[in-house]
Amino acid sequence: MSSPDVVRSQIFLADLKRWAQEGKMPNFVILQLPSDHTRGTTPGVSTPKAMMADNDLALGRIVEALSRSPFWSRMAIFVVEDDAQNGVDHVDGHRTVALAISPYIRRGYVDSTFYSQPSILKTIELILGLPTMSLFDLIANDMRASFTNTPDFSPYSAAGPKQSLFDLNPPLNALRGEERQAAVDSMRMRFDVPDAVPTERLNRIVWHNARGWNTPYPGSRQGVFAPLSMDLDDDEKDETKGPKQDK
């Protein structure tokens, strides 16, 4: 988290340049851009908005370079959050954002298929000709509905950020009340280890930082899921009916 995503992207682009010179790129690449996790309102570090802008710019530059590379005609890029971490808007908190980028992706198309994280994994496996690894990716919907047989090889141009990448959180001595407590809590969080922060607290800090410290935090929303069906044997069926009554 101490290195901006733009710096991480520059390292990747240097590798991409070398791969282009060699005429060969790995079949599968995993790239981590963690700035969109933010560091809360830790005093003296980049603000959540600045870190999100850094993340967006890094991703845009990577896609731009890949779309102008000699490998673009045989490429698909999948962009996901490392985990959903819940949400505080008008839809179920179990959902998350996913992007699919390729010359073979349908343009101007809304894909309403129900997808899950294993759907992306299954699609990658199909592209690379790999077997499934578990029941989860075996039964998941693949993402073929988002693809087309007619490619569009037009290169992508990254947009410049409207949000400054250099805004910093204010010092602790300039803060009061809830805003000060949020900064203290952010300082105590471990951002150098994956999934070490209290996600609910960080969610609240980032939300109030964006929407105002006096704005009520919204309640969570979840969907209702029916229990999984099971094939019970005769003894189990009797148990679900309760104790037998003497006639």
Q: Domain check: are 135 and 19 in the same one?
A: yes
Q: Which pLDDT does position 93 carry in this prediction?
A: 64
Q: Are 158 and 63 in contact (CB under 8 A)?
A: yes
Residue 9 lies in a domain: yes
Q: Domain check: are 131 and 201 in the same one?
A: no
Q: Domain check: are 179 and 117 in the same one?
A: no
Cβ neighbours of residue 196 under 8 Å, at least 6 residues apart?
Answer: 189, 190
Q: Are 108 and 148 in contact (CB under 8 A)?
A: no
Residue 217 lies in a domain: no
Q: Would you write out the chain's pLDDT as a tens digit for each of its 247 residues? A: 679 999 999 999 999 999 999 999 999 999 999 998 899 999 999 999 999 999 999 999 999 999 999 999 999 999 988 656 555 555 666 677 789 999 999 988 888 888 988 999 999 999 999 999 999 999 999 999 999 999 999 999 999 999 999 999 999 999 999 999 999 999 999 998 888 889 889 989 999 999 999 999 887 665 555 444 445 555 545 554 555 555 4
Q: Domain check: are 140 and 197 in the same one?
A: no
For the entire predicted model, the pTM comes to 0.83
Q: Which pLDDT does position 224 carry in this prediction?
A: 53
Q: Which pLDDT does position 229 carry in this prediction?
A: 47
Q: What are residue 46's phi and psi, to 5 degrees?
A: -60, 140
Q: Domain check: are 142 and 204 in the same one?
A: no
Residue 43 lies in a domain: yes
Spatial distance between the Cα atoms of 75 and 229, rounded to a whole number of angstroms: 40
Q: Which pLDDT does position 219 carry in this prediction?
A: 74
Q: Domain check: are 62 and 177 in the same one?
A: no
Spatial distance between the Cα atoms of 80 and 84, rounded to a whole number of angstroms: 9
Residue 67's domain spans which residues?
Answer: 5-146
Q: Domain check: are 85 and 120 in the same one?
A: yes
Q: Domain check: are 137 and 180 in the same one?
A: no
Neighbours of 226 (CB within 10 A): 5
Q: Which pLDDT does position 96 carry in this prediction?
A: 75
**3 state DSSP class of 89:** coil
Q: Which pLDDT does position 200 carry in this prediction?
A: 86
Q: Domain check: are 129 and 200 in the same one?
A: no
Residue 155 lies in a domain: no
Burial class (CB in 10 A: 0-12, 13-18, 19+), 1: middle
Burial class (CB in 10 A: 0-12, 13-18, 19+), 193: exposed
Count of domains for the chain: 2
Residue 81's CATH number = 3.40.720.10
